[in-house]
Structure 1
Amino acid sequence: MQFVTRAQWGARPSRYPLTYIGSTRGVKIHYEGTAVPVSLARPENHGQCAARVRAIQASHLANTKENYSDIAYNAIVCPHGHVFEGRGAHKKTGANGNSSLNSAHYAVCAMLGDSGLTTPTDAQLAGLRDAVEWLRKSGGAGDEIKGHRDGFATACPGPALYAWVRKGAPRPGGTTQPKPKPSAYEPFPGADWFKRNPRSPIVTAMGRRLVAVGCSAYREGPGPQWTEADRQSYARWQRDLGYRGDDADGWPGRASWDALKVPKV
């Protein structure tokens, strides 16, 4: 992987601390969605790519409507296949459309536009796979590779790149996604499941994990019946992950659940 760190491309500091995220279901692929010059893909123009990443960050920091804390993407991939570190691994993205979508997947953006340079180069496709595999190894990303439009009303990542995603995001040469490995951990049962006051061995296993990581608010137990003590304990776990306000309300979400690693029952 041809990796370019934040320091190497000249990133500005985040406006405020980024939210830690333990793991995600996978990665969503984006494009810039504005005009990108075709000339950027020429080998002799790679020197322009760092400046383009700086410009993307500057535009995000200037966006008062979205109130971004930093560049929205976890990584950006140029037409020459270099992976520029954005927010980085274990940082919640700001690019997928809303808070729950941002918790569910990382975001990787290709330097492609809705006009001009619209078709990814082979080097760029290889770089996108490099970015995905880096986030799997270093950021706990799951096996999913999806487009921004999957779950959010947008044309992103454009027709050419989305067609590649739909094919399984193969590397040039035909390598596709590996088959998911069986997990040793309890899959997330869904946010609504907890709000139905479930009684289940899963609740006991969750409570034991919360005790093990030092987030217990239990006076007795934990046990199989979901209680207020479970919610308060889970809120402590969310705060340990860096969540604040409504994001630390004690109701489990997929990203925080995956980070807790509740053993299968």
Structure 2
Amino acid sequence: MATPLSAAAFIGALRAEGVRVVEVGSWRTHNRNSKGAWGPVHGVMIHHTVTSGTAATVRLCKDGHAALPGPLCHGVIAKDGTVHLVGYGRANHAGLGDDDVLQAVTAERTLPADRQANTDGNRHFYGFECENLGDGKDPWPAAQLEAIERVSVAICRAHKWSARSVIGHLEWQPGKVDPRGFTMASMRDRVADRLAAAKPKPPAKPPAAKPVCEPYPGASFFMNGTRPALGKSSPIFTAMGTRLVAVGCGRYKVGPGPKLGQADVDSYQAWQRKCGYTGASATWPPGKTTWDKLQVPNV
């Protein structure tokens, strides 16, 4: 049992499940709500149309006929698997059916035989008409069967229902045979399999690009208390020394290398002076401004 989805949530659920949707006219507000309540909803009902030709079928399901005004369903599932939305709200599709069946659908248990016609199904079911002659000979293309599966799964996911909430008209109203040409048991198996499968995960975000230059590690990285951290080892020092040589400030006899030495300190202070700093501002440790300007390669 559930409150019906909003029209926006309904079409969103279909699209999220990969259903190809065509919106027909003002389908969101085309309904028979003036004749009775829409909801609470308990399940999804599948029909066949006993028609051929998608355009004519969609038109009939949208407008209905003199004896039965439209909409005659919420969506028409065409042979090619496209779902044409023709109405939303109460629709003339289910008619009177068996209250024992409704109770079974609500409880998501095995369906009993449909022996009575005493309960309003138009109020309680989403309805999909499938383009088919219903003679047992008209084929059901794979794309159409997949669309039936997908629309059923979309609604079941949205309401957290199981496959037992999907029934055929023949299981609801005595004397009905639709859908004819496949079994609802086989369709419920398909729905159950799709529901059990993990929903596709969105693609993982690519890892952040590694910065081209080594971020400033902070003044404390270069110090041991109040003194330069001479003897500390890091590949950053090698990269720093290589850049100091490249900008003409190298004061090395050997190196540069990964172990911080006095030549590194002297070379960096030469770089600080080259950047225009003097006095205490041109002494170790490196500051962020001169570090960023040196463009030490990321290690």
TM-score range, shorter chain: 0.3 to 0.5
Flag the structure with larger Rg: 2
